Amino acid sequence: MDFSFTEEQLMFKEQVMRFATKEIVPRVQEHELKGEFDFQSFRKLGEFGILGLHFSEELGGSNADVVTSVLVGEALGEAGVDGGLTLAYGAHTFLCADTIFAHGTDTQRKKYIPKLASGEWIGCMGLTEPGAGSDVASLATRAEKRGDKYVLNGNKMFITNGPVSDVAVIYAKIGKDLKHAGISAFIVEKGAAGFSTGKNLVKMGVRSSHTSELIFEDCEIPEENLIGQEGAGFIMAMQTVEWDRSALLAPFIGGMTYVLKKCARFAKERYQFGRPIGEFQAIKHKLADIKIFIEAARSLCYRIAWCKDQGRPLNHLEAAVAKLFIGDWSLKPANDAMVLHGGYGYCHEYEVERYFRDSRLAPIGGGTSEIEKKIICKLI
Amino acid sequence: MNFDYSETQRNLCEKVKGVFDTDTEASFAKLESGDDDAIRIVVSKYLKTLGQVGYLTRGLENGKDTVGLVAAQESLARISPSLFLSVEVNARIFGRLIAVYGTADQKSQFLPDLKEGRLIGTVALSEGGMNIENNPLHTAGVQVGDSFLVTGEKNHVVNAPIADWIAIAGKMKEKIVFFVIKNRSKGLSIGQRLPTMGYNGMAISTISLENCSALSKYVIGPFEGEAPLKTIRTWEDQILTAGSLGLMHRCYTTALSYAKNHTSGNKPIIAYQEVGFKLAEMLTLLQTAQLLAYRAAWMAETNNRETNVVAYCAKVFCAESAEEVASQALQILGGHGYIDGNPAEEGYRNAKYLQIAGTSTEISRMKIADGVLKME
């Protein structure tokens, strides 16, 4: 076993942190408070090369391995980028663009990946529906082949980047009676006839990412927008889940490190009863618990990334364990960080309350903790 | 980066498992309920076989492989928690003390026997209310000719009733030394074995010394400062961390097997989410603890400034998770879990020791926080 990063990876992490601290973090508070998507920061992520990091160079990427991609997610969180922007980046790069990159035709790749990698276009992915969340097989959005077109009908729910996206990867069923075997993936572009988005949903956290319903009413798309084969969508969705449970989790861990540093600073500067509160054992206990969580969570994330880099397909157990731990076990340290700041922690200015709200998504999005337990049960 | 065991690491784990055969369960039943002699017989027997497969040389020779050591320790702790602690105190505390700090003569006298499992040793550290963080040692030796007369009291010494040799931590002219004394030496008395809540197959007692003679050739040290005491504590913590992994694994596999085979309402109870989800949480804790423990072990071989902090994180997380996993396992086993002598109830009783022994979870947390406060 070897838990080391290469010099190159560590240097890149430093670069990402410096870039994010200078270009993105100063804009975070304003956008988060207003619940506004920060288009400028998103483009900057693209210009820096983050949005297309693991794609091939000829498509605008850098050929990075998965471990490096996870490291970048951690770096963004550690620099202080909010969960909204990192979620938008995750949904864009891993859930939308990666599906086209991994399963699309050369034509599809050439058309979409460069623009998604640069951030010129924003991507989203639609799997969840108002009536089909954890139970993927029950999804009701239909695709029907009519001549050289597919016609989509149905609604998608809680779609990150929905209102701001230019390209959507949509999962829909072909054939009414088919369950998993009927699920297929399609590319739908903004402006397609019969495609509209609902209003931006007001959320507890990750507020700078926009989330909405996607509505398909006799939405016609060209047949060449099918990704892979008809009925191959379920396996694609399962592959994105690995990203969901590694690269998308990394910013939570990095964010917790950011929060821990803030806590340490506050504990040294805040005096009560004539001494810094960091000298009280009750405060030290909280600092220790936050640190223990970070150290425990980190390797879970990198294990999935490393398995993917080794070409091991669908690491379901590892992914479910990581998602369950980081989701459920992050809540207490996130709460500790806020409580440690007392009244200040409850105010937006101190950022820990933002992290508290953002981290609440971890046990819900991308497979609830209950679903992770269900998966683990099935595999043991 | 690599999350797989190496070939060597995997081989050693397999060899450790191979040591234990069909009469294992009977041996361990004797260990858990036996008197000092019974314990000594079982420990001696397995020390020899573990020696044959190379388990005891780890940490006593040049060339580190702390990750491999943890993996092998986890394998043993899964099989018998009590035997594991006895063996580890012998090999990785007493043995390492000699290997790292001993003289050439001491090494040539003790190490061959230790590596082959022919002797049982221990180190006596704790005294009264003493912890090595805040209180000095009171046990002291006075030189008389070619030997020292050692006087003092030691508490909670694992292996003391069954040991051949005991290294007593004490002071000589205000400097820390270890007096290595043969059991049954004049002036050395080993107290009655202490009944314990868990790890019942581990012989533990007090020791008192009154003008007990220790030959100077058997003195290790003297040392400037308290570094050796702290180093021994890190070895202890590492053992307890690996022991936590073994305990969790033992409890988890017991509960998993029970949940798959015990039926209720015509289906195995694992099919009920109240049971199945507990197992999912247990496996999550186990795997998370493993990765953290292995990373802490890996860091011990690097110059990372966070090595100590991560080791404390691993100790706290693994020890506390062990109690949680044991508790859930017992719950899954229901009435069967509450009956003496099954791995879940045994694990539940044992788990507390892991949080108390070595650096307690309270002191560990304070040390982690000290590290965090230096971050910024």
Q: What is the pLDDT of residues A232-284, one digit of tens each?
A: 999 998 888 778 878 889 999 999 999 999 999 999 999 999 999 999 999 99
Count of other CB atoms within 10 angstroms of residue B86: 29
Q: Is residue B117 left, alpha or beta, with left meaning phi > 0 and alpha meaning psi from -120 to 50? A: left
What's the whole-model pTM score?
0.95
Topology annotation, domain B227-375: Butyryl-CoA Dehydrogenase, subunit A; domain 3 (1.20.140)
Q: How far is B32 from chain A (nearest CA, A)?
A: 31
CA distances A27 to A23, B48, B301, Å, are 8, 66, 41
Which residues numbered 150-179 in B keep a CB inside 8 Å of some CB on A? none
Report pLDDT for B130.
54
Which band of pLDDT confidence, cut at 50, 70 and 90, is reported for residue B34? confident
Q: State how far the Cα of A171 lies from the Cα of B374, in Å rounded to an integer.
A: 49
Strand, coil or helix: A112: helix
A316 in contact with B, Cβ within 8 Å: no
**In chain A, what residues touch B1 (CB-CB under 8 Å)?**
2-5, 67, 302, 306
State the pairing for strand pair B147-158/B219-223.
Answer: unpaired
Q: Which two tokens stand for residue B248?
A: 């969790």
Partner B contacted by A284 (CB < 8 A): yes
Residue B150: beta bridge partners?
Answer: B141, B212
- What is the pLDDT at residue A191? 94
pLDDT tens-digit series, residues A318-357? 999 999 999 999 999 999 999 999 999 999 999 999 999 9
Place of tokens 């076993």: A1
Structure token pair of residue B79: 């099989």
**What value, to the nearest 5°, has the Cα angle with vertex B155 and ends B149 and B160?**
75
Determine the pLDDT at residue B134: 60
- Please indicate whether, in this complex, the C-beta atoms of A261 and B289 are within 8 angstroms of each other: no
B residues 253-282 near A, CB within 8 Å? 256, 270, 273, 276-277, 279-281
Asked if the Cβ–Cβ distance from B295 to A284 is below 8 Å, we say no
pLDDT of residue B20: 86
The β-bridge partners of A212 are: A159
Q: Which domains does chain A have, with CATH numbers?
A: 7-122 (1.10.540.10), 124-235 (2.40.110.10), 245-379 (1.20.140.10)
Q: What is the pLDDT of residue A119?
A: 96
Distance between CA atoms of residues B292 and B72, nearest Å: 16
pLDDT tens digits, one per residue of A119-146: 999 999 999 999 887 787 788 999 999 9
* A321 inside 8 A of chain B by CB: yes
Peptide bond into B222 cis (omega under 30): yes
Other C-beta atoms within 10 Å of A271: how many? 11
Percent of chain A with pLDDT over 70: 100
What average pLDDT does this structure show over B337-356? 94
Q: Is 90 exceeded by the pLDDT of residue B60?
A: no
Which residues of chain B have a CB within 8 Å of the CB of A268?
373, 376
Q: Cβ of A347 under 8 Å from any chain B Cβ?
A: no
Q: Name which of B248, B252, B372 to mutate to probe chain A: the one with the most chain A Cβ atoms within 10 A of its Cβ.
A: B372
- Kindly write down the DSSP assignment for every residue of A179-226, as one continuous string: SGGGEEEEEEETT-TTEEE-PPPP-SS-TTS-EEEEEEEEEEEEGGGE
Packing angle, helices B273-299 and A281-309, rounded to 10 = 90
Average pLDDT, chain A: 94
User: What Cα–Cα distance (Å) separates residue B269 from each residue in A332, B279, B325?
Assistant: 30, 11, 18
- Judge whether A2 is closer than 8 Å to chain B, CB to CB: yes
Is A52's pLDDT higher than 60?
A: yes
Span B212-216, mean pLDDT?
94
Q: Which of A4, A95, A175 is nearest to A365 (CA)?
A: A95
* More confident site: B233 or B31: B233
| Nearest residue, CB atoms, A1 vs list B2, B313, B375 | B2
Residue A22: partners with Cβ closer than 8 Å, 6 or more residues away: none
- Strands (DSSP E) along chain A, which ranges? 123-126, 142-146, 149-160, 167-173, 183-189, 195-197, 211-222, 226-227, 271-272, 275-276
CA distance A17 to A251: 12
Contact B288 A2 (CB under 8 A): no
More confident residue, A294 or B126: A294
Q: Using CB atoms within 10 A of its CB, is residue B370 exposed (0-12), middle (13-18) or buried (19+)? A: middle
Pairwise CB contact (< 8 Å): B279 & A376: yes
Query: Has residue B296 got a pLDDT over 70?
Result: yes
ipTM over 0.85? The verdict is yes
**Contact call for B372 and A288, based on CB within 8 A:** yes
Q: In the structure encoding, which two tokens stand for residue A234, read together?
A: 């379920």
Task: Specify the CATH superfamily of domain B121-223.
Answer: Butyryl-CoA Dehydrogenase, subunit A, domain 2 (2.40.110.10)
B313 touches chain A (CB under 8 A): yes
* Alpha-carbon A244 to chain mean position: 6
Considering CB atoms only, which of A285, A291, A377 is closest to B313?
A: A291
Give chain A's largest Cα–Cα span: 79
pLDDT band at A167 (very low <50, low <70, confident <90, very high): very high
Inter-residue contact A372 to A364 (CB < 8 Å): no
Q: Is B87 on the interface with A (CB under 8 A)?
A: no
**Residue B319 pLDDT > 70:** yes
Identify the band that residue B294 occupies on the pLDDT scale cut at 50, 70 and 90.
very high
Q: Indicate the domain borders of chain B.
A: 7-115, 121-223, 227-375
Residues in A touching B4 (Cβ below 8 Å): 1
Give the DSSP H or E segment for B237: helix B227-261
> Does A306 lie at the interface with B, CB-CB under 8 angstroms?
yes
**pLDDT at B186 exceeding the cut of 80:** yes
| B276 Ramachandran zone, left/alpha/beta (phi>0; psi -120 to 50) | alpha
Residue B299 scores a pLDDT above 90: yes
Q: What pLDDT, on a 0 to 100 scale, did the predictor assign at position B26?
A: 76
Q: What CA–CA distance (Å, rounded) separates A304 from A240? A: 12
Number of Cβ within 10 Å of residue A2's Cβ equals 12
- The pLDDT value recorded for residue B29 is 79
Query: Which of B302, B373, B374 to mutate: most A Cβ within 10 Å?
Result: B373
The SS3 of residue B181 is: strand
CA angle B320, B322, B323 (to 5 degrees): 70
DSSP A20: I
Cα–Cα separations (whole angstroms), residue A206 to A85, A108, A254, A259, B5: 8, 30, 15, 16, 38
Is some CB atom of chain B closer than 8 A to the CB atom of A289? yes
Instruction: Tell whether A380 lies on the interface with B, counting CB pairs under 8 A.
Output: yes
B7-115 folds as Butyryl-Coa Dehydrogenase, subunit A; domain 1 (1.10.540)
Q: Give the pLDDT score at B131.
A: 60
Q: In this complex, do B288 and A300 lie within 8 Å of one another by their Cβ atoms?
A: yes
Does A278 contact chain B (CB < 8 Å)?
yes
Alpha-carbon distance A314 to A234, whole Å? 12
Q: Tell me, yes or no, if B3 comes closer than 8 A to chain A by beta carbon.
A: yes
* d(CA B299, nearest CA chain A) in Å: 8
Q: How far apart are CA A66 and CA A246, in angstroms?
A: 9
A149 φ, ψ (degrees, to nearest 5): -130, 160
Residue of B nearest to A66 (CA): B1
φ and ψ at residue B364, rounded to 5 degrees:
-60, -45
User: How many alpha carbons lie under 13 Å from residue A127 in its C-beta half-sphere?
Assistant: 26
| Contact residues, chain B, for A278 at CB < 8 Å | 369, 373
pLDDT recorded at residue A242: 79
Cross-strand partners of B209: B152, B188
- Looking at the partner chain, which of B1, B256, B366 has a beta carbon nearest the beta carbon of A281? B366
Query: Cβ contacts (< 8 Å) between A261 and chain B: which residues?
Result: 375-376
**Mutation test of the interface with chain A: which of B6, B267, B284, B320, choosing the one with the most A Cβ atoms within 10 A?**
B284
Confidence of residue A315 (pLDDT cuts 50, 70, 90): confident
Alpha-carbon gap, residue B46 to B74, rounded angstroms: 16
